[in-house]
Copies of this chain bind each other. A is one copy, B any other.
Amino acid sequence: MSRTAAALIIGNEILSGKIADTNTTLLARALFDLAIELRRVLVCPDEISTISKDLSDLRASHDLVFTSGGVGPTHDDVTIDGVAASFGRPVVRSVAVEKMIRQYHGDRTTEAHLRMANMPQGAEMIRSSDAPWPTVVIENVFVLPGVPEIFELKLADLHKRLDEGYEFHSQAVYTLCDEGEIASLLERIAEAFPGVMVGSYVKWQAEDYRTKLTFDGTDPDAIAKAADMLVHELDAKLFVRRE
């Protein structure tokens, strides 16, 4: 029932610190809502051989893989080549996408623009109402662009396709506890409710709370009981609120 996923974030600009990757968080939240467990995120440079090898590892060990970045028109956009190499397929040009690109750019269309019509042979294209170009999908791999606005649009489009009706549930308890003082109680809760993922987050900036405890999982009853156990055993004056 629970599906696993991995992300391959492609781009020298992230590894050099020029651009802060925000797509990982967008993807993580979208997958959490679909009860798909994101198990691994890998950031790699714009190199065909690295992309190919990393993608081969990730798609063999996860149900779904999402790539981000490297699908533009410039010389360092080599994701499609890397994906094709991973599947041992040639890169072909989609006549349909080429036509869309020529319509969009008109007389100013260059060979570089047309690179965006390249895809691994046999890839599926998912059309979207909002995003300018279709999304390339090949077996369990979804090839998404790096630009966060378009990444998010395409992710929203994929929601229906990925939705199998499961969802994760979550509860949070905000406290004034010191994390070290509450650690043994959290361990007992985690042992008592093995299906519930217990998280603990210290706030360093000033807030109305000090440590936030989270309870996540697929069983809403177990989550509620785990949060109950915390609130019940907690010194009442350390309790702030529950969400």
Contacts and interface: CB of A to CB of B under 8 A. Distances in A.
Contacts of A21: 24-25
Contacts of A43: 24, 40-42
A81 interface: no
B110 A184 contact: yes
A165 interface: no
A45 interface: yes
A28 B17 contact: yes
A73 B198 contact: no
Contacts of A135: none
Interface residues of A, number: 65
A25 B15 contact: no
A11 to B, nearest CB: 9
Interface string A191-226: 000000111111010000000001010000000000
A187 interface: yes
Nearest to A203: B147
Contacts of A156: none
Contact of A112 (B18, B42, B184, B190): B184
A103 B215 CA distance: 33
A1 interface: no
A136 to B, nearest CB: 18
A231 to B, nearest CB: 18
A16 B199 CA distance: 11
A19 B183 contact: no
A199 B112 CA distance: 15
A204 B149 contact: yes
Given A76-B199, A110-B181, 18 more contacts: A12-B199, A14-B25, A15-B41, A16-B38, A16-B216, A17-B26, A17-B29, A17-B30, A18-B214, A20-B24, A24-B43, A39-B45, A41-B42, A72-B202, A74-B179, A76-B198, A105-B180, A149-B204
- Ranked nearest first, the 3 interchain pairs of A and B with the lowest CB-CB distance are A112-B183, A17-B28, A17-B29
23 contacts: A13-B199, A15-B28, A15-B37, A15-B41, A16-B38, A16-B197, A17-B25, A17-B31, A20-B25, A41-B41, A72-B179, A73-B179, A73-B180, A74-B183, A75-B186, A75-B187, A105-B180, A108-B178, A108-B181, A110-B181, A111-B184, A112-B183, A147-B204
